[in-house]
Amino acid sequence: MGNTTWRRDAHILRRWAWGWLFLSSLLAGCRLPTLVYFTAAMLGQDMRQPPVIDLLAYRDKLKKPRNEPLRVAVVCYADIGTQIHLGPLPRELDEALARELAKEFAQQRDRLVILSAATVHRWQERQDQWSALHPSEMARELGADLVIFVELNNPSLYEGRSNRTLYRGRAEVQVTVAAAQANDADDLYNQLIEQAHLEAQYPRHPAPVAADPDVTPDRFRRQFVRYLAQEITRLFLPQDPKDAIARDPIP
């Protein structure tokens, strides 16, 4: 009888504690999605979602031998107008994204390797018409199993109507992952294409960055490039809701 009463009291106490946590969190301004996430995490549930694009899944799709890593190349593109106004942004993004991906997949080098940006740049110098190729053709010419083709549309470094006195990095980012196209253009390869779209803004918080002598356009562009590389890399990693909670400003 005593044990039964103790268990009932403990159950009531736990329910009271969770209710108090819920109420106090709401009163303190904690958003409901945040509360739901941390409550589930405390209960031991894995809240991560699958990657938007699962690179390692291509091992099975391409029937890659177990002892051979998947070779992945990163190719970034922006039109000539962007290159004139924003300098070497695409090449810098090649380097930053390849470096970020290599870091995130470092523990799985036996399953996936990222080709160096220098390898991609040498190929671009030899292939004058590389930007006219389909991403699957780029992969084949680079000797890669996959290419991550990143197209930057309407990129800018300045807040609108600020007369270049305020920095705000923006870009529409189209990401295409394509398997190397076989010479016979087998239909299988044409199906191994995935795409994702990002609307990037840096910094994310409402206030732009003042353009002053301590923050030159080149310095801010490099910061924006690092941010883009991190955001694109997240497409290929398990999605943890707490990351979005931490990065999104509370209104």
Q: Where are the domains of the chain?
A: 58-235
Task: Quote the DSSP letter at residue 51.
Answer: P
User: Looking at residue 251, what is its pLDDT?
Assistant: 33
State the CB neighbour count (10 A cutoff) for residue 227.
18
Distances in Å between the Cα of 98 and the Cα atoms of 69, 104, 214, 228 are 16, 10, 28, 12
pTM, entire model: 0.78
pLDDT means over runs of 10, the chain (251 residues) = 51 50 50 50 66 95 94 94 82 97 97 97 96 94 97 94 94 96 57 91 91 92 96 94 53 33
Report d(CA 190, CA 230) in Å as an integer. 28
- As given in the structure block, the two tokens for residue 125 are 């110098």
User: Looking at residue 240, what is its pLDDT?
Assistant: 80
Report d(CA 227, CA 206) in Å as an integer. 16
Class of domain 58-235: alpha beta
Q: What is the 3-state secondary structure (H, E, C) of 117-174?
A: HHHHHHHHHHCCCHHHCCHHHHHHHHCCCEEEEEEEEEEEEECCCCCCCEEEEEEEEE
